[in-house]
Every structure is written in C-alpha cells, then in structure tokens.
C-alpha cells in the first residue's frame, strides 16, 4: 500500500482539488464525488471484493484493456486500479479512461481521469478520480428492429483483413448485428475497430461509417456462420437521423420490434 500512502500525502483533502485542476486537462468536465456518499461506491466495492476483471478504454487508443480495482479511497474520492493489460505506455496524468463491466444484461460505465501513476512512486497502479454518478444501467438503450427476411446485405472489414459480407439480423440507431458465413472468430476481438461498415437499408438509406465489435460468436442454426454485434463509430448526425426515420417507417409495416 506504499502507493496509496504516498498518494495520500501528496493529495491531502485541502489540496486535492487545486492539484487536480493543475494536472487535469482543461477540456475535462469531470467532477469528484461528494465525500461521505458511500452508497454510491457500492458497485465499485463489490467489483473490488469479487476481484472482477473490468474493461478499460483510453482516448489514446482504439483497443480495450483489462484491469482490476485494487482500492477505493472513500475519504479523498480516489479509485486505485491495477496496471492496464496489455500495457499502455502513453498514459499520463490528466488522460481520460472509460471503465466498463457487464453483468446479466446490465453494465457499469465510468468515465474519469487519471490523477496519478504508480510509477511516479516506484510502484504499480493508477489513481483515478471517482465520478459523481456510479450506477448499473441496461446494456442496450435503443429500440432494435429485427429483420425476419435476412435479405439486407452488410459489408464489414476487420482491421488488416479482407472485407466480409453478411446478412443483417437487426439494427438500431446505435449499431447492428450481422451474420457472416464461415468462421471469423480468429479475425475478431472485443472492442476492435472495423474501418468499413456499409449497409443499404430498405433501398432508401445507405450507411457508410466505422464500427466497433461489441460481441461475436459462432451460430450453427438456422445457418452456420459468425454472428457479430457492432456499434456505430463516427456515424454522422445526418445519417443517424435518416436511420431513425427509416426505422420508424419500417416499424409501421412490421409487428416485430424489440426493445433490446
């Protein structure tokens, strides 16, 4: 616990806010959790107690990392996590990290900033500011339109691989699910960027953007292939509005609309 002890000495209650303002990027809009509001920390304490792996994503990289919650400093509103795996050498004080953990259809998402790095104190670990709001939320928050005909083709291209084509299974304003023939498991990983995603929906709207792999698995029935769930990345607002309007039109002609 040498890191926490030295960190406590550097960030005393009287100086914590002044130090964080000096070291955190001025573009950050994060606010610390009010001291003493322990009930808000229960999700973090539970993950720490269960030694659960959590995903970490940095604005500096397109890939996801893994870490553990090592300690929760309630008095100073600091969260200490283990070193990221694989290592992210470019991480600095003031950078932003997004922590994410899934459980039974819910997810905990925390976007916060780095307060201190363990290597500054001759040890391992990363100290983060605890944000004001910490709570479990449903993983999916948008209406998902399930297509029964399976006639809409999707083009995707994993990074460094050839383009693949599949059938669109469902779509929302946040992303889509596609079934590609064959086994693509070796070409995919969670959080990986798809440089190319192309969909022509209802012969009216053509979507071209990047995507991010959220989940994937082999599917054997009714057709053998790789089922891939993709989140839209950098989808222009114009296309998002057009997609929303298109889904509304399709909903009026179909009784199969799932809230996923």
CB-based contacts of 20, cutoff 8 Å, min separation 6: 11, 32, 115, 129
CB atoms within 10 A of CB 33: 20
Give backbone dihedrals phi and psi of 73, rounded to 5 degrees, phi first.
Answer: -90, 95
- Which pLDDT value is given to residue 127? 94
Architecture of domain 2-138: Roll (2.30)
Largest CA-CA distance found in the chain, in angstroms, rounded: 64
131 close to 111: Cβ distance less than 8 angstroms: yes
Can you list the residues of the chain whose pLDDT is less than 50? 1, 8, 10-36, 255-260
The burial class, CB within 10 Å (0-12 / 13-18 / 19+), for 149 is: exposed
Give the Å distances, CA to CA, from 34 to 43, 74, 78, 84, 137: 16, 10, 11, 27, 21
Residue 162: predicted pLDDT: 92
Looking at 3.40.50.1100, 3.40.50.10680, 3.40.250.10, 2.40.10.220, the CATH number of the domain 143-259 comes to 2.40.10.220
What's the angle, vertex CA 233, arms to CA 232 and CA 239, rounded to 5? 65
Q: Count the neighbouring beta carbons within 10 Å of the beta carbon of residue 246.
A: 18
Helix (H, G, I), strand (E, B) or coil at 155: strand
What distance in Å separates the CA atoms of residue 233 and residue 240, rounded to the nearest whole number? 11
Q: What is the pTM of this model?
A: 0.49
Q: Under the phi-then-psi rule, with left for phi > 0, alpha for psi from -120 to 50, and beta for the rest, what region is 113?
A: beta
Q: Which of 76, 208, 80, 201 is nearest to 149 (CA)?
A: 201
How far apart are the two ends of the chain, measured CA to CA in Å?
Answer: 43
Rounded Cα–Cα distance for residues 259 and 144 (Å) = 6
Domain boundaries, the chain: 2-138, 143-259
Joined together, the tokens standing for residue 119 give 């290597």
Give the pLDDT confidence score for residue 64 in this predicted structure: 82
């Amino acid at each position: 616990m040498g890191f926490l002890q030295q960190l406590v000495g550097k960030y005393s209650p009287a100086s914590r806010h002044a130090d964080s303002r000096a070291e955190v990027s001025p573009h950050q809009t994060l606010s610390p959790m009010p001291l003493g509001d322990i009930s808000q920390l229960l999700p973090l304490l539970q993950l720490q107690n269960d030694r659960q792996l959590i995903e970490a994503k940095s604005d500096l990289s397109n890939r996801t990392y893994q870490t553990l919650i090592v300690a929760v400093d309630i008095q100073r509103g600091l969260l200490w996590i283990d070193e990221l795996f694989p290592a992210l050498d470019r991480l600095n004080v003031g950078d932003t990290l997004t922590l994410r953990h899934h459980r039974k259809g819910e997810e905990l998402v925390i976007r916060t900033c780095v307060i201190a790095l363990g290597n500054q104190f001759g040890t391992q670990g990363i100290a983060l500011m605890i944000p004001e709001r910490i709570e479990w939320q449903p993983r999916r928050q948008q209406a998902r339109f399930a297509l029964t005909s399976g006639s809409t083709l999707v083009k995707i291209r994993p990074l460094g691989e050839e383009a693949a084509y599949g059938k669109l299974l469902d779509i929302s304003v946040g992303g889509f699910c596609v079934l590609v023939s064959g086994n693509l498991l070796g070409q995919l990983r969670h959080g990986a960027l798809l440089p190319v995603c192309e969909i022509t929906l209802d012969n009216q709207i053509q979507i071209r953007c990047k995507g991010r792999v959220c989940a994937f698995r082999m599917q054997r029935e009714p057709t053998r292939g790789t089922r891939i769930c993709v989140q839209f990345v950098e989808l222009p607002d114009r296309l998002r509005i057009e997609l929303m309007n298109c889904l509304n039109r399709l909903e009026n002609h179909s009784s199969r609309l799932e809230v996923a």
